[in-house]
Structure 1
Amino acid sequence: MRKHRGLAPEDRLFFDKSRFARLKRAVEDLSWLLRRGYAQKAAVELVGNRYQLTRRERHALIHAAWGGENRRRPVSADELAGRTLCIDGFNLLITLETALGGGILIRGQDGCYRDIANVHGNYTLRMETEEAIKLAAEAIKTLKVKEALWYFDRPVSNSGRIAKLVNEIAGRYGAAMRAKTSDRVDSLLKACGDVVVTADAVILDSGVAWFDLAGWIIGHEIDKPLNLLDFSSVQ
């Protein structure tokens, strides 16, 4: 039986106001270090130890902080009509599943929405999976996108199954999108030639044109309460 992509037991820490205030200060410190060229791994360890953050809080810290790289400004929703989207499949899907399932969401300093599901190599379909894909299909139609290409990492478990499901839902809802698996998703995204959909900072900082589709869907198509940790105003 499928489970929800909801809160983890340790996520109760994020609802403690004093701990969240401490996490915000940690985000400020990490961003300061990243802007000055410190290596992320060493900087996260330094800041995490200073503020005595748990492993889960450190994961949120990484997703929230931003070194202020010379990234291109995001493409606006009004500019997407007639464009092709290259979608980081698991990145988009898991964030939407998390939003629908009531899990913890991060809005980072760069304004991007991210989950902290920490899925690496082992993806399992959730109760929210089909609804998340349907929301993406409706968004693609609403935004008048010419075509959306979903790329899923082949080595990740169930990647073929989820690509097949995306294609089935695309046909069912008449959405101009198709999915495939690949061993080189990052390379395909960087070579997209049009608009990339991801919240992966490494890809965003490579100079691609990008759009935060997860954030747009969360803001326009999901009307349920969110467990959102917003760091976008932290400098």
Structure 2
Amino acid sequence: MNNRNRGKNTGDDVLFGSQKQLDKLKMGVQDMLYVLSRGYPEKASSELVGNRYKLKTRQIQALRGASASGQQIENRKLKQLEVSDLKGKILYLDGFNVLILMESLLSGAYVFKGADGCFRDLSGVHGTYKRVNQTQRAIELVASFFQKTEVQKLVWIFDKPVSNSGRIKEIVLDYAKENKLNWEAGLEYNPDKFLAENSEIAVSSDAWILDHCQKWFNLIAYLIKEEKLDVNLIKMA
């Protein structure tokens, strides 16, 4: 196992660890809701709000991840499934989205709960995926969910252009084979579009997917509650 994790960045405690910063971020999410609901574009809105509260780059990143318009929040909630809806169903899982978020969460990085009830982090793939100390545990937690909820099949979808996507796909499939899990895994050039168009139920916290898919399930929220995970949580809304 590689000796690395996805923990906090240097300086994150200064940006997210005090009540003063938290208050600014919460007010920022309220302002974002107001301007996004009136049709203003996300980038311009986050810059406007960021300037107002003198937010740093990573704070603006967290703000954007946690924010949505009133219409988006309502639309996402209408399409969200409960765990009781999943038995016997086929789920399509946004591989890097779920895996990296779980790795961050398990590493003690800050995780942000947004206006739509989804959890997001500040990590990214950046062209290459590197396995970390928490990767195995993240896969095990997904397996626990799969078995407890009696999902028929789970299909992991990874970004083909990302370096090492083929390797993590094989790790997931090997784990499924060893543990007799009905899992599949695929590589797609445009996984967001694929998940939105080809899955009846998507598992992701990616905003674009949530806005364009048929139905979705909030896996991270389920795992935090069900597995009683210790989370360095920032509630933004």
After TM superposition, the score normalised by the length of structure 2 is 0.93
Quote the Cα distance in structure 2 between the aligned partners of 1:177 and 1:165: 12
Alignment partner, residue 104 of structure 2: 98
Q: CA deviation at 1:172?
A: 1.8
- Indicate conservation of the 8 Å contact 2:192/2:208, yes or no: no
Whether contact under 8 Å (1:123, 1:158) holds in the other structure is yes
In 1, Cα distance between the equivalents of 2:120 and 2:137?
18
Q: One-letter code of the match for 2:50?
A: G
Identity of aligned residues (%): 38
Equivalent positions of 1:6-21 (< 5 A) are 6-12=7-13, 13-21=15-23
**2-side partners of 1:171 and 1:102: how far apart?**
30
Structure 1 segments, 4+ long, off by >3 Å, are none
C-alpha distance in structure 2 between counterparts of 1:173 and 1:97, whole Å:
21
* Offset of residue 187 of structure 1: 2.1
| 1: CA distance, partners of 2:164 / 2:224 | 25
- In the TM superposition, what whole-angstrom CA distance separates every residue of 1:28-73 from its partner, at most 9, and x where no partner exists? 1111111110000111111111111111101100111111223333
Is 1:229 paired with 2:234? yes
Deviation of 1:27 (Å)? 1.0
Mapping for residues 20-99 of structure 1, pairs under 5 Å:
20-68=22-70, 69=72, 70-71=75-76, 72-99=78-105
Work out the CA distance in 1 between the residues paired with 2:40 and 2:50: 14
Hey, what does 2:3 align to over in structure 1?
2
**Per-residue Cα deviation, 1:186-209 (whole angstroms, up to 9, x for no partner):** 222012342100111111111420
Distance in 1 between residues matched to 2:228 and 2:103, nearest whole Å: 11
Which structure has the highest helix share of the two? 2
Alpha-carbon distance in 1 for matches of 2:5, 2:160: 23
